[in-house]
Amino acid sequence: MRELIASGRARPDEIAICATATEDWDEHFLVLVADADLPLHFSHGVPVLASREGQACAALADVLLNGLGQDRLRRLFGHAAGRSRALADLPADWSLGLQPGAALFEIDQWQRALDEATGRRADAGDPRPVVMPILRLLASGPEAAAQAGAMLLGTAARALWTEALRRAPAEGLEFSLEDLRLPDGRDPGASAVWCPASHLAGAPRPWVRLLGMTSRSWPRRTAEDPLIPAHILPRSVLDPDPVAEQDRRAFAVITSQAARGCVLSRSRRNAQGGQLSASPLIPQSASLQILKRARIPQHAFSEADRLLARPDEAATSPALTAANLCWRNWRRPIVTAHDGQVRADHPQIVRAIGDVQSATSLRLMLRDPLAFVWRYALGWRAVPEDDQPLTLDARSYGELVHELLKRTVDALEPVPGYARASREEIEAALATSTETVRTHWPLKRSAPPALLWKHTLAAAAQLALKALTLDETFQPGTRSWTELAFSQAGDGAMAHDLPWRPDSLVTIPGTQVRIRGNIDRLDLTGDRRGVRVSDYKTGVEPRRAEEIVLGRGAELQRVIYSVAASQLLPDNPRVIARLVFLGNKEPRPYRLPDVDQAIAELGGHVTAAITLLRGGHALPGPDAQEEHNDFRIALPSSPAAYLQLKNGAFMRAFGGFARVWGCR
């Protein structure tokens, strides 16, 4: 089509492109037409879902079929706002105060979340009178499809919705919307046409290209009827005009009328790489021309085509030059700017180093300097999972256990006091905390479905009970705290008789690096001369856990807790630091052999990491190879081969800093 129009051999209304079935090609043609801006008419119409009105219908169907969810509701209200009478009074900031991480799949969760959000609003806005009646209607599911469409969709979208419901029950909206078509608005008398073969057979054109000329498509195969097989009723009686015969007739009509040119096009392989055989309709005398995918086009219809045909012009494009240089640098066994080499003392890196660090940021700094720069200097974040999870990931599960611990100990302090509480009192407080978390957790972040959520909470409560009843306190008068904050901005109040102000600053000895965090558990003796900090682990206990000090830069919380306790408690108390693995049948605590030496080692490794980063060597470390790496998508598509190629150059650039990966 492009070549015929550009050469002047044919007018657009003389050209046709067709296939026996257009569904597999439509999306590609929509993109190509948008790039080329050529007059191409879709005789069978364009998919409804490619329009704004179709997307509004899809958003409503998603809510009705898959349930309430914050992301789904935001999308629906975004499409319906300004077009729906029911949402005319809805303020633009209706979702202000809702936690972005909360999934909100149940109507009662929405009610509580909106109640809390409205209470936190500074203005007098209250979206509940508008939102809650709509949510109650949508919670009814497909049964409310007709009423929901009339209430929430604009005029054009409502017509599409009505047609989709006429074609199939509401439970099949997902499929009926996919099948709906809209006129594309082009004049067929002034445009080339893209159409099914049956349409073109009724209005042939002199220039034709037939797509998908394989044995599977031309002609299409006639399948046996699943309800009335051939041995009960012959196929010739059931279907006197099978689809294969229709395709043969259409082919004969189209090719006989294509007086000026007819191209039969086929692929040699399918999408899975399997070989495809040619259609039996292709004449034996037809000449064969193999077209390579990367061939240079004679007539460019898009910028990509033009640059491919003009390599000299492409070489002047800054974007293509940078991409080509990146591609080549990734395959050179030296450290380059595309591996993380930057100028020394880059202001963004210096700023990131100067911020208050956490155990997570220090782990990235020690285990993957490049990811540290991406996360804390550039502000990159992984996209959160939108779907309702069936299970919590390891990090979220650990946070759930810590939440139960904090609420339980807070409930026991100061009366009767966690250290003095009996097992029955601990279990009662834990049961209350579990029930509170059950209702409040889904208002802040995603939670599994109800039955699985109940099971997850029960398992987390068992781990929390192990932690709470692990051992006896040091001596009478010992006080305990969980999730005890330090260096947390804005938490200066002395709530619940804490041992220090939560905004008190903590610095790693030997450095100027400030650190913050929450101590899983702190036990302080009555005379304040002894303190024990505990780092709870809900995962699998590793081999030789008793030898862990810094865990090659991965286990830093216990040492960080020790730094905070030694600096913030007066009179230099004796510090005991331990890891507690809760996943076994019996919890196992492992004490840090030498707290002072571990703190000194941490300071030395952090100093080496800062020197490396300020020197401009922000390179991938061992964590870059892990499957759980949130920034894996920013690495080359084959990270294992890339890191193997670059390993020698990286190790020379890391120098003495790499010693942290060999420490215990």
Q: Flag whether 134 is in a domain.
A: yes
Residue 585 scores a pLDDT above 80: no
Confidence of residue 270 (pLDDT cuts 50, 70, 90): confident
Per-residue pLDDT, 475 = 64
Q: What is the C-alpha to C-alpha distance for residues 619 and 335, in angstroms, rounded to an integer?
A: 9
* 536 strand-pairing partners: 580
Per-residue pLDDT, 184 = 85
Q: Flag whether 113 is in a domain.
A: yes
Q: Flag whether 94 is in a domain.
A: yes
Q: Flag whether 262 is in a domain.
A: yes
CA distances, 606 to each of 514, 519, 623 (Å): 11, 20, 17
- The helix (H) or strand (E) run that includes residue 208 is strand 207-210
CATH of the domain at 207: 3.40.50.300
Mean pLDDT calculated for residue range 32-59 = 88
Lowest mean pLDDT among 163-167, 417-421, 623-627: 417-421
Neighbours of 426 (CB within 10 A): 19
Residue 490 scores a pLDDT above 80: no
Q: What is the C-alpha to C-alpha distance for residues 60 and 73, in angstroms, rounded to an integer?
A: 9
Q: 169 and 190 share a domain?
A: no
Q: What is the C-alpha to C-alpha distance for residues 464 and 301, in angstroms, rounded to an integer?
A: 64
By DSSP bridging, strand 207-210 and strand 261-264 are parallel
Among residues 419, 436, 469, the one where a domain terminates is 469
Evaluate whether 409 touches 481 at the Cβ level (below 8 Å): yes
Coil vs helix vs strand at 365: helix
Q: 82 and 25 share a domain?
A: no
Q: What is the C-alpha to C-alpha distance for residues 231 and 247, in angstroms, rounded to an integer?
A: 25
- Concatenated DSSP letters for 471-498? S--SSTT-EEEEEEEES-TT--S-GGG-
First-to-last C-alpha distance (Å) of the chain: 68
Q: 164 and 211 share a domain?
A: no
* Alpha-carbon 405 to chain mean position: 29
Q: Flag whether 407 is in a domain.
A: yes
Q: 214 and 202 share a domain?
A: yes
Q: 72 and 118 share a domain?
A: yes
* Residue appearing with tokens 């190790």: 651
Q: 190 and 290 share a domain?
A: yes
CA distances, 364 to each of 228, 370, 377, 494, 553 (Å): 64, 8, 12, 32, 9
Per-residue pLDDT, 193 = 94
Confidence of residue 460 (pLDDT cuts 50, 70, 90): very high
Confidence of residue 89 (pLDDT cuts 50, 70, 90): confident
pLDDT tens digits, 401-423? 988 988 888 888 777 777 778 88
- Concatenated DSSP letters for 626-656? STT-TTGGGS-SSHHHHHHHHHHHHHHHHGG
Q: Flag whether 100 is in a domain.
A: yes
Q: 82 and 171 share a domain?
A: yes
* CA proximity to 53, closest of 30, 22, 84: 84
Mean pLDDT calculated for residue range 389-410 = 86
* CA proximity to 609, closest of 359, 364, 375, 342: 364
Please give, one letter per residue, the 3-state secondary structure of 284-331.
CCCCCCCCCCCCCCCCCCCHHHHHHHCHHHHCCCHHHHHHHHHHHHCC
* 514 strand-pairing partners: 507
Helix/strand/coil percent split, the chain, to 5: 50, 10, 40
Encoding tokens for residue 441? 């957790």
Where b means 16+ CB within 10 Å and e means fewer, 44-82 reads bebbbbebebbbbbbbbbbbbeebbbbebbebbbebbee
Q: Name the most confidently modeled range: 65-69, 332-336, 406-410, 518-522.
A: 332-336
Q: 67 and 15 share a domain?
A: no
Per-residue pLDDT, 369 = 95
Encoding tokens for residue 307? 């640059």
Residue 495 scores a pLDDT above 70: no
Residue 649 scores a pLDDT above 60: yes
Q: Which residue has the higher pLDDT, 440 or 353?
A: 353
Q: Which domain holds residue 102?
A: 49-182
Residue 541 scores a pLDDT above 90: no
Evaluate whether 57 touches 157 at the Cβ level (below 8 Å): yes
Q: What is the C-alpha to C-alpha distance for residues 69 and 309, in angstroms, rounded to an integer?
A: 48
Lowest mean pLDDT among 49-63, 120-134, 545-559: 120-134
Among residues 402, 436, 469, the one where a domain terminates is 469
Confidence of residue 493 (pLDDT cuts 50, 70, 90): very low
Q: Flag whether 286 is in a domain.
A: yes
pLDDT tens digits, 228-259? 777 777 777 777 778 888 999 999 999 999 98
Mean pLDDT calculated for residue range 197-210 = 93
By DSSP bridging, strand 181-182 and strand 192-196 are unpaired
Per-residue pLDDT, 622 = 93
Encoding tokens for residue 190? 């002034």
Q: Which phi and psi (to 5°) does residue 224 adopt?
A: -70, 140
Q: 94 and 200 share a domain?
A: no
Q: Flag whether 431 is in a domain.
A: yes
Among residues 444, 469, 494, the one where a domain terminates is 469
Q: 93 and 12 share a domain?
A: no
pLDDT tens digits, 317-375? 898 999 999 999 999 999 999 999 999 999 999 999 999 999 999 999 999 999 999 99
The domain tally of the chain equals: 3
Q: 27 and 78 share a domain?
A: no
Per-residue pLDDT, 492 = 47
* 486 strand-pairing partners: 517
CA distances, 423 to each of 402, 465, 471 (Å): 19, 9, 12
Average pLDDT, the chain: 87
Q: 120 and 72 share a domain?
A: yes
Confidence of residue 496 (pLDDT cuts 50, 70, 90): low
